Each structure stands twice: as C-alpha cells, then as structure tokens.
Amino acid sequence: MKDNVSVVISAYNEGESINELHKELNKVMKELPLKEYELIFVDDGSSDDTYAKCQKLQAKDSHVKIVHLKRNFGHEIAMTAGMDYAKGDAVIFMDADLQHPPFYIKDMVKYWQEGCEIVLTKRVENRATSKFYDFCAASFYKILNFLSDTKIPAKTPDFRLIDRSYIEVLKKFNEHDRLFRGLLSWAMPNDKVKVIDFVAPERFAGTSKYNFRKSLALALNSIVQFSTKPLRLSIYLGLITAFISGILGLYVIIEHFILRHPTPGYATIMTTVIFIGSVQLIVLGIIGEYIGKIHMEVKKRPLYIAEYKTKEIKNAKKDI
C-alpha cells in the first residue's frame, strides 16, 4: 500500500504560478512508481484568478482536485483543509510559488517506499530572503526551542511527505491556532524520519504573503501554543523585581536612619513605581495572551468553510 500519494498545495493569490507549478508537478509525478496520485490545490480564498486557473487545470487533468476555501483562512488552515480531503497513503505538502521545487518529490517518495514514515526537507539556502530575515528566523527558533518542550527544528519548511499513519494523528489535533510543523514535531517518531537538503529558489511570481507583522504574529502565537514557560518566567520576573526593591528599601533605611542623610525622595519613588507598574503590565499581558487563546479555542468554531471539487463534478461533495 505504498503506491498512492496526495500532494497538497496551498495557494493564496498565486494565479501567476499555478500553471507552471502544475506543469512541473505533472512531469515529476508521471515518472514515479505510483498507481495513483492526486494534486489537491487548496485555494485559500484568493482574490485573484487562482481558483479559475485551478478549475481550468481540473478540466484538463483528472488528477487535479480543488479545495476552495470561502475566504482567506491562512496558510496553516489551508494545509489542514487539504490534509482533511487527501486520500493518499502518504501526503506531500508544498507551497504554490515554486519555492518548494517538485523535483525533490522523487526522493521523498523513494525514501517513503523504502520504509520512512516522514520525509522532511531542510532549506540549506533561501534565495528569497535577506540576511536580516534569516537572522530573525534563526533567533525565533532559538527562543521557541528554549521555551518549548516540543523542539521544532529551524529551516524545515512545510515541504514534506507524511505517511497516512501520521496524517491520521495530525487530523486529531483540532486547535485553531496551529503551527503545522510544531504539531508534526510533537508527533515525530525517533526513527523512520529522513531529511532532504534543498535550496529554495526565488518565488516564481508575486510576493511573499508573510509580511513582518504576520510573521511576528505567527512567531508569538507559536510560543503561546507550545509553551507555558512565559507564565513561569513571569513569576521569576516578579521575584527579581521584589529582590531589587528590597535592596532599594534597605538602602533607603540605611541612608535615613544610620547615615542620617536626607532621603532623595521624588525621583527614586517615581522610578520605582514606573518600574513595578511596567513589570505588572508585562505579566498581565502574558497572562492575557493565554486567557485570550483559551477564550478563542473553547468556542470550538469550525476551522474553515470549504467546497471540495473533483473532476467528476456531478458527484462532487459539498461541505459548507
């Protein structure tokens, strides 16, 4: 049962790349020793012609399936939706902008057929990002891995193959705020994992959908998702400030009662009050982040609204 693969491609406003990606994917997939394969294009509520282009491809190629999200739900949810509809014995995830070259799928499938259950990729070079971006990303992973018990390796993008057995595990996670690679790290076995090095080229067309603000939000969300250590660190912060104010208090007592110097009041008091106030606000903010996440997750809202289309349009399943 290692001859049926699904490829899940999440696309948001990637109309300019879709045809080229399909061409390259087709070339690679046809050469593989597989009985069946499907190419699931997840249109993440694009406002350009991504959906129309996917439909045109589907008219020509029965391997193409479309998951059409009714609005933009974000990359992580788009991958989840694609995974939910995938039927293959293994699922390969990739981006639509050709930064995940289809060429590497050959090796992924080969290792899987030889017995690996998860084949990851490691981006040894990213031709699309600046040194500053790479530095920020590396620092984020260091902080995340310091705070979290689930270790998430850096430079391993969402371009990967996952065996059906692990897909079923991943489908059990139902949190809204999700970092797919983190969930996979949580489920990662100690063996049967292979890593393929690759060089990520520039995007084929268009610009990155992750600006600095979105990347920062994803980074902060990921920390809250995978770690409660910031709450513990708040306690340490409180203890440190208590210690500092204790020393200050002692200094004031010695100055006033032993050395008999007039205590310099106003400036010291203001500084101390502002300092303690800021620490309290930081700690409240951290607690608020966690409470906010609980508030959103307990509602158990659906993850997405999707329409699933196969070429046999009459039998199409419609989930809304």
For ligand UDP, the binding residues (CB under 6 A) are 10-12, 14, 44, 72, 74-75, 78, 95-97, 99, 208-210
Q: Which does 109 bind (CB under 5 to 8 A by kind): ligand UDP, Mg ion, none?
A: none
The one-letter amino acid at 257: F
CB-nearer residue toward ligand UDP: 8 or 161: 8
Query: Cα–Cα distances in Å, from 271 out to 243, 258, 281?
Result: 16, 24, 15
Asked if 99 is part of the footprint of Mg ion (rule: CB under 5 A), the reply reads yes
Q: CB of residue 130 vs Mg ion: minimum separation in angstroms?
A: 14
Q: Which does 44 bind (CB under 5 to 8 A by kind): Mg ion, ligand UDP, none?
A: ligand UDP
CB-nearer residue toward ligand UDP: 11 or 144: 11
Q: CB of residue 159 vs ligand UDP: minimum separation in angstroms?
A: 10
Q: CB of residue 21 vs ligand UDP: minimum separation in angstroms?
A: 9
CB-nearer residue toward Mg ion: 79 or 188: 79
Q: Which does 15 bind (CB under 5 to 8 A by kind): ligand UDP, Mg ion, none?
A: none
Number of residues in contact with Mg ion, rule: CB under 5 A? Answer: 3
Q: CB of residue 281 vs ligand UDP: minimum separation in angstroms?
A: 32
CB 12 within 8 A of CB 72: yes
Q: Which does 211 bind (CB under 5 to 8 A by kind): Mg ion, ligand UDP, none?
A: none
CB-nearer residue toward ligand UDP: 79 or 116: 79
Q: CB of residue 130 vs ligand UDP: minimum separation in angstroms?
A: 12
53: CB partners within 8 A, 6+ apart? 15, 18, 19
3-class secondary structure for the chain? CCCEEEEEEEECCCHHHHHHHHHHHHHHHHHCCCCEEEEEEEEECCCCCHHHHHHHHHHHCCCEEEEEECCCCCHHHHHHHHHHHCCCCEEEEEECCCCCCHHHHHHHHHHHHCCCCEEEEEEEEECCCCHHHHHHHHHHHHHHHHHCCCCCCCCCCCCEEEEHHHHHHHCCCCCCCCCHHHHHHHHCCCCCEEEEEEEECCCCCCCCCCCHHHHHHHHHHHHHHHCCHHHHHHHHHHHHHHHHHHHHHHHHHHHHHHCCCCCCCHHHHHHHHHHHHHHHHHHHHHHHHHHHHHHHHHCCCCCCCEEEECCCHHHCCCCC
Name the closest residue to ligand UDP (Cβ).
208
CB 148 within 8 A of CB 223: yes
CB 41 within 8 A of CB 65: yes
Q: CB of residue 122 vs Mg ion: minimum separation in angstroms?
A: 16
Name the closest residue to Mg ion (Cβ).
99
| Piece of 94-102, 214-222, 229-237, 280-288 that binds Mg ion (CB under 5 A) | 94-102
CB-nearer residue toward ligand UDP: 45 or 88: 45
Among the listed residues 89, 97, 117, 163, the single contact to Mg ion using CB under 5 A: 97
Q: Which does 78 bind (CB under 5 to 8 A by kind): ligand UDP, Mg ion, none?
A: ligand UDP
CB-nearer residue toward ligand UDP: 116 or 179: 179
Q: Which does 43 bind (CB under 5 to 8 A by kind): Mg ion, ligand UDP, none?
A: none
Note the residues at the interface with Mg ion (CB under 5 A). Answer: 95, 97, 99
